[in-house]
Amino acid sequence: MDQTEAESVVRRATLDGEWTLYPVPPGETPILSPEDLGRVPLDPIPAVVPGNVELDLMRAGRIDDPYIGTNVYRLRDLEGYDWWYLREFDTPSQLPGGSVRLLFEGIDCLATVWLNGEELGATDNMLIPWSFDVADRLGTREPNTLAVHIASPVNAARDYVYEPWLTAVSTGFDHLFVRKAPHMYGWDIAPRIVTAGIWRSAALEVHGRDELVDVAYAVESIDSGTAVLKIGWQFRTDAVSLDGHELAVSGACGEHRFEHVFRPHFIAGELRLELADARLWWPKGYGEPNLYEVTWELKRDGAIVDVRTDTVGLRTVELERTELAGEPGAFLFRVNGEPVMCKGTNWVPLDAFHSRDATRYDRALELIDDLGCNIVRCWGGNVYEDHAFFAFCDRHGIMVWQDFAFACAIYPQDPAFLARVRLEAQTIVRRLRNHASLVLWAGDNEIDVGYLKRGLDPGKNRVSREVLPQVCAASDPYRPYLESSPFVATEVVRRKRRDQRLMPEQHLWGPRDYFKSPFYAENTASFASEVGYHGCPNVSSIRRFIEPDYLWPDARAAGRDSPWQGNDQWRAHATDPEPVQGPYADRIGLMANQIRELFGFYPENLSDFALASQISQAEAKKYFIEMFRLGRWKRTGIIWWNALDCWPQFSDAIVDYYFARKLAYWYIRRVQTPVCVMFEEPAAWTCRVAVANDTLESVCGSVEVVDAETDEVLVADRFAVEANVNREVGRVSVSRGEHRLFLVSWEIAGRRYGNHYLHGAPPVDLAWYRKLLPRIASLPGGFDPDAIAK
C-alpha cells in the first residue's frame, strides 16, 4: 500500500535549470506563437525551472522581495501578465523504439506548449502532471526549441459565467473555475500571490516497447497474522502474442519474504497473495511502520525488459463514524483493527511560492516527526504533495489525511468543470494510492458547512457527493472517503440547525477567546481536525520581515470593541490580502486580546509582547491536546493548526517561516509522547492526574508531581496501565482561587519524560510565569528558556 515513487527502467533526461522568461504586460500586442517573440520588443530575463516568475523577477532586480514589509501588495500588478518560457535542448543520442514523452510535473497553470514551432497541447491545472508525445517531433541535427506560454489566470477567469449562488473567500472569487491552489488568492495563512511558472520538474521520458504501466496494492484483510494482499497490474507491449511474456514479483521486509512467477494471459490482471506472519505497517506509537521492498520483473522471450521497485506497507484502515455528535467512537480511525488515538497537525503550504517546496521538505517533515505526530491533515487549500512527502510519512508511521484541493467555497457544478475535477482526482488518486501512510481521502475543506450556513444542502454538491467518491470507489476502494471536513450529514440538514456541535468531527475556531472558555471546554467534538491559537514569532524573526521603523505595531489598548489594529506592515503579515482593512485586518488585535485574556494587560514593548503571546499559545495548544487525550474514547483525535508558516507572518503556527520554534513547539512535543501523564481540570477541590497510554503494550513506570514554587512532592508512585487506555495515577488538592504551577515527571524503562500544569483562572501574573519558565524548561525533553521569543 505504500510507495516511494516507483523505480523502473524508464530513461529520463531533465529539462530543469536555465530557461529564458519573457514577461508580457497586459495591453501589449498578443504573442500568439514562439515566432512572435522575436517580432515584439520584450525584455527577457533568465529563469530557473522549477521556479516561479516572481522569483525570477526578484533575481533579475525587477521587483523587491515580496516577503519584506508591504512589498507583497505590489505583486497584484503582475496578475494580468502573460509569460513565455523558452529553452533549447539536444535530442538524446540513443532512443529505443518506444515512445518519448515531454513531461511537466507541474505547470502553473493555463499553458500552451510548443516544440520546434509546433503546438503540442495545453494545460489547465497546476495540481497535476502533464505529458505530451514528442517522439516524431524531436530534431535530429539542430537543438530543439521548447516554448511554454502561460496565460493570466485572472484574465481567463473573466470568461466564465458565475451563477449567483457561487461563493469564495473575499479575495478569491476568481479562483473558482481555475484549478490553482486556493490559498494563492489570499487566505488568513497565506498572502495573495497569483503566481505563474513551471513550478515542478520538466523532463523527457523515454519509454521502451514493453513496460510496466501500473501496479496497485491493497490489503483486503488481516486475520491471525495473515495478510491478503491484492495487486492489480498492467503492462504495455507491441507484441502480437503474449506467449513469450512472464511476470515475476518478489518482496522482502527483513527476513520475511515472498515471491510469485506467472505467465500473463492479458496485459492487465489481478494477483492475490496470502502472506502468513506478515510484517504489518503501524502508525507512530502503535508499532513499527514495516515496509516491504517489492520488485517486479517483466520478461519477454527470457530477457528482462522492465523492472519496477515499490515500497509497500501492509495494513488495513477503517473510519468508524456516525452522522451526529455525542455517540462514543463517532469518528474513529482503526488501523489493522486497532483503535488509534490521533495526535497531529494540519499541513499547509510549505511556501507561498511552491517551486521552493522541495527545498523545505526535509526540515519540515523532521519537525513533524520530532513533535510525535502520528497524523497530518493535508489541508484542501494547498497543492498535492509529492512522493517525497508521503515516502517520509510511510517510513515514520505518520498517517496522512488528504483533502482534495477545494476549500471554503461553493464551486461550479457544470459538466465541463466536473470533467476537469474528475481528471484531477483520477490523476492524484492513482498517483498516491500505494502509500500506506495515506489513510483518508476527504472531499474538501469546510465546504459542507459553507452550504449549511447559506441554507443550502451540501448533499447536492456534485463535486464531493458524485465525482470524487466515484473516482475513489473505482481507483482506491479500500481506503475511506469523507465527503467534507467537517462533514454535514443528511440528519443535520433535516434538523435545519446551522450548528457545528451536531457533527462528530469539527473545526474548533469560534470566538478564539480564553482557551479554557466554554466554547473549548464544553465542545461536543469526537474529533477536532482544526483548532488553533495565535502565537507571535520570535523578535529576531520579526526583524527579518518587518522594517525597523515598523517593529512596534503603533497600537494601544483601547477596549474590547476596538482592538489593536497594527501598522501597515504588521497587518500585511497578519495575513491580510488587502492593503487597506481587508478581511483579516483584525488578526493583530486578536493576538493582543488573547494575551490580555491570559495575563490581564497589553504588553508595552515587543519583547514582552512576543513572550506573552507565545506563552498564551503554548498553554492553549497543550490544553487542547490534553483535553482530547484525556477524553478517550469519547474523544478520538485532534489535528491542531498548524506546524509551519508558508511565509513570514503572525499566525497560529508553532514554527515560523524561518524555522524558528515558538514555545508551543516544546510543550506540544511533550504532550504528544505515546505515554503521557497529564492533569485533568479541577473538580471537587482536586485535580486528577492521569496517564494516557497510546500504545498496544502495557506500560509500567513511576511518576512524580512537584509544586514548582515550593518543591513539595505531591504525588510519588508507581503505575501500571494497560494498552490503549487511560488510568488515574494520583490526585492533587487545589483551590480555584490560587495560581500554581505543577511539574510532572515520569520514567518508563529507564527513560524520563516531563510535563507541567498551570492551575488557576486568569489573569496570570506574567512576571510570575516568566520566573518559573526555567523550571518548566528543566523537565525532561527540555529547551533553553532564555531563547524563547528572542
pLDDT of residue 558: 36
Whether the pLDDT of residue 683 is over 60: the answer is yes
Give the pLDDT confidence of 230-274 residue by residue, as tens digits: 999 999 999 999 999 999 999 999 999 999 999 999 999 999 999
Give the pLDDT confidence of 299-334 residue by residue, as tens digits: 999 999 999 999 999 999 999 999 988 766 689 999
pLDDT of residue 3: 38
With cut-offs at 50, 70 and 90, classify the pLDDT of residue 7. very low
Q: For all residues of the chain together, what is the average pLDDT?
A: 94
Whether the pLDDT of residue 112 is over 90: the answer is yes
Whether the pLDDT of residue 8 is over 60: the answer is no
Do the beta carbons of residue 278 and residue 251 sit within 8 Å?
no
Give the pLDDT confidence of 345-396 residue by residue, as tens digits: 999 999 999 999 999 999 999 999 999 999 999 999 999 999 999 999 999 9
List the single range of 202-216, 471-485, 543-557 with lowest mean pLDDT: 543-557
**C-alpha cell at position 249:** 514479483
pLDDT of residue 2: 39
Rounded CA-CA distance 748/729 in Å is: 14
Percent of the chain with pLDDT over 90: 88
With cut-offs at 50, 70 and 90, classify the pLDDT of residue 477. very high
Using the structure block, give the residue that is written with the C-alpha cell 535549470. 17
pLDDT of residue 640: 98
Give the pLDDT confidence of 704-714 residue by residue, as tens digits: 999 999 999 99
The CA distances from residue 788 to 574, 591, 783, in Å, are: 21, 17, 9
Do the beta carbons of residue 565 and residue 555 sit within 8 Å?
yes
With cut-offs at 50, 70 and 90, classify the pLDDT of residue 141. confident
Count of residues in the chain: 790
Do the beta carbons of residue 159 and residue 110 sit within 8 Å?
no
Do the beta carbons of residue 499 and residue 491 sit within 8 Å?
no
For residue 678, the cross-strand partners are: 690
With cut-offs at 50, 70 and 90, classify the pLDDT of residue 530. very high
211-223 and 130-133 as β-strands: parallel, antiparallel, unpaired? unpaired
Give the pLDDT confidence of 718-728 residue by residue, as tens digits: 999 999 999 99
Task: Indicate the pTM of the whole model.
Answer: 0.96
Q: Is the dihedral of CA 301, 303, 308, 309 positive or negative?
A: positive
pLDDT of residue 94: 65
